[in-house]
């Protein structure tokens, strides 16, 4: 066989366009063959991305070293550039970078299986994750023993793959595995993320023995309530959730949620039965009926509530002003930016806002204003300060706030603030005039 020539970028884009129209034409057998071939293609693409990601990172670091920048600056912002190119969050960009460096420098057999389509990205990620605590030499041993022969993992499920990798890691370096466990225990935490139908997932990362104990205790007490006829018609799962809430807050579910939240909704949704969704800060859209119920429950209880007017453009939903309840301008400005941006303004990053940043820095005479301000997560704010990054607000009157982000490689990405709830309200006279104009 002759040497395989790598495609150029134009060829790759042309092939991608051709792939869009692939069809099995009603032939099930051919369809299965296509699925198998495309799955292999995805794995090969993942391997190519890993090699290119490592090459990009190496190139940027060498350039910064040659320009005698401080060592602390060599790696800054690289993960964020990877994330923007892949249309993902900076956190995922960091994972992609670590994954690529592990494959290219420490796990050549895993990379080879990816390049031949015998291993998919997720299973390669599991191998990288389960060997992260090992030295480069020990990691290479696991890589060789599990991936040098493609038949070794053929037919093995994800759990089986994890078990084999863990067993080898313990065999090679039990002390490192224990250190990793102690580190994991120190990073225990509670997080929330949105779920469909205006629900949310509460996730608790804790030692496995504590998690099993908590699950069993909630299940036991829910079973007891059902057995004694005190379930109130609730299922076992519903009882377990309610018990967790009551024990975590000290308040029964019926008493409402004693929590301060920022709920943004139009006056029509609140007062006139409108149907436009509200925005719950840090969560996302909430149906109008649920938003009204949340407000009614809060007003009807002992919960402290306040109403603050927010002014937005009726056409675009762009935030134009907010009624101030604070004497200190910086606090009001931060609140204004939080309401406008809702989450981190870096494209594809939806992390909570932690920093309120000058888009055009004060060193470059950037003003402290809502137009020159943006809400960023901590990681994105630090990345933006790296070598070669640029940011500027883009003026477009009457539309939502727009931010242009430039990376050290010269690529530009734009981020538009989401529109606020602003239900259209027309009088009967306005509606008649508009109908007459359209008819003429």
Three-state SS across 113-164?
Answer: HHHCCCCCHHHHHHHHHHCCCCCHHHHHHHHHHHHCCHHHHCCCCHHHHHHH
| Residue bearing the bigger pLDDT, 299 or 38 | 38
43-80 residue pLDDT tens: 999 999 999 999 999 999 999 999 999 998 999 999 99
Residues 17-28, mean pLDDT to the nearest whole number: 90
Cβ contact 392:404 at 8 Å:
yes
pLDDT in the model for residue 30: 93
pLDDT the model gives residue 329? 31
Nearest to 93 by CA among 77, 104, 108, 107: 77
Question: pLDDT digits over 388-437, tens only?
Answer: 899 999 988 778 899 999 999 999 999 998 887 765 555 555 556 556 65
Q: Whole-model pTM?
A: 0.72
User: With 70 as the cut, is the pLDDT of residue 282 above it?
Assistant: no
Mean pLDDT for the chain? 83
How do residues 40-51 score in pLDDT, each as one tens digit?
Answer: 999 999 999 999
Encoded tokens for 324: 């101030």
In a 10 Å sphere around its CB, with 0-12 CB exposed, 13-18 middle and 19+ buried, how is residue 152 labelled? middle
- Average pLDDT (27-36) is 93
Radius of gyration of the chain (CA): 27
Note the pLDDT of residue 259: 47
- CA of 198: how far to CAs of 229, 298, 305, 339, in Å? 30, 18, 21, 19
Work out the percent of the chain whose per-residue pLDDT is above 90.
Answer: 48
Q: Where are the domains of the chain?
A: 38-186, 189-254, 263-307, 319-416
Q: Which among 268-277, 320-329, 419-428 has the top mean pLDDT?
A: 268-277
Average pLDDT on 342-361 reads: 88
- State the sign of the Cα–Cα–Cα–Cα dihedral 159, 160, 163, 169: negative
Q: Strand 319-322 to strand 310-312: parallel, antiparallel, or no bridges (unpaired)? A: antiparallel
3-class DSSP state for residue 8? coil
User: Does 369 have pLDDT greater than 90?
Assistant: no
- Highest mean pLDDT, choosing among 5-9, 385-389, 408-412: 408-412
Among candidates 425, 398, 435, 429, which has minimal Cα distance to 275?
A: 425
Tokens of 119: 């291993």
Q: What is the pLDDT of residues 142-186, one digit of tens each?
A: 999 999 999 999 999 999 999 999 999 989 998 888 888 888 889
């Amino acid at each position: 066989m002759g040497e395989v020539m790598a495609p150029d970028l134009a060829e790759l884009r042309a092939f991608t366009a051709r792939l869009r129209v692939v069809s099995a034409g009603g032939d099930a057998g051919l369809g299965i063959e296509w699925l198998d071939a495309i799955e292999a293609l995805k794995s090969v693409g993942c391997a190519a991305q890993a090699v290119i990601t490592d090459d990009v990172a190496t190139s940027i670091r060498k350039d910064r070293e040659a320009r005698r920048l401080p060592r602390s600056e060599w790696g800054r912002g690289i993960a964020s550039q990877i994330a923007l190119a892949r249309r993902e969050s900076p956190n995922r960009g960091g994972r992609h970078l670590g994954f690529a460096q592990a494959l290219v420098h420490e796990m050549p057999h895993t990379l080879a299986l990816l390049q031949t389509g015998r291993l998919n990205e997720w299973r390669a990620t599991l191998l990288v994750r389960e060997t992260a605590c090992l030295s480069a030499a020990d990691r290479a041993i696991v890589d060789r023993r599990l991936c040098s022969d493609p038949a070794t993992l053929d037919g093995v499920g994800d759990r089986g793959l994890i078990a084999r990798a863990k067993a080898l890691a313990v065999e090679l370096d039990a002390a490192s595995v224990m250190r990793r466990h102690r580190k994991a225990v120190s990073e225990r935490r509670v997080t929330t993320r949105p779920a469909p139908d205006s629900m949310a997932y509460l996730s608790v990362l804790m030692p496995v023995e504590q998690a099993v104990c908590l699950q069993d205790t909630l299940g036991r007490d829910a079973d007891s309530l059902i057995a004694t006829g005190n379930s109130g018609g609730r299922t076992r799962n519903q009882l377990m959730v309610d018990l967790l809430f009551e024990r975590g807050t000290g308040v029964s579910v019926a008493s409402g949620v004693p929590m301060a939240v920022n709920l943004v909704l139009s006056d029509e949704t609140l007062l006139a039965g409108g149907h436009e969704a509200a925005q719950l800060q840090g969560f996302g859209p909430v149906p109008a009926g649920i938003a009204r119920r949340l407000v009614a429950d809060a007003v009807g209880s002992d919960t402290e509530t306040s109403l603050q007017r927010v002014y937005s453009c009726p056409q675009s939903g762009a935030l134009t002003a907010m009624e101030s309840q604070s004497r200190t301008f910086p606090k009001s400005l931060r609140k204004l930016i939080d309401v406008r941006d809702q989450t981190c303004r870096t494209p594809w990053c939806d992390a909570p806002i932690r920093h309120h940043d000058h888009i055009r820095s004060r060193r470059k005479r950037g003003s402290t204003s809502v137009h020159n301000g943006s809400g960023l997560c901590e990681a994105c704010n630090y990345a933006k300060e790296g070598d070669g990054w640029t940011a500027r607000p883009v003026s477009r009157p009457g539309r939502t706030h727009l931010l242009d982000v430039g990376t050290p490689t010269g690529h530009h990405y734009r981020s538009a603030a989401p529109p606020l709830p602003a239900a259209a309200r027309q009088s009967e006279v306005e509606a008649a005039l508009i109908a007459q104009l359209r008819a003429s």
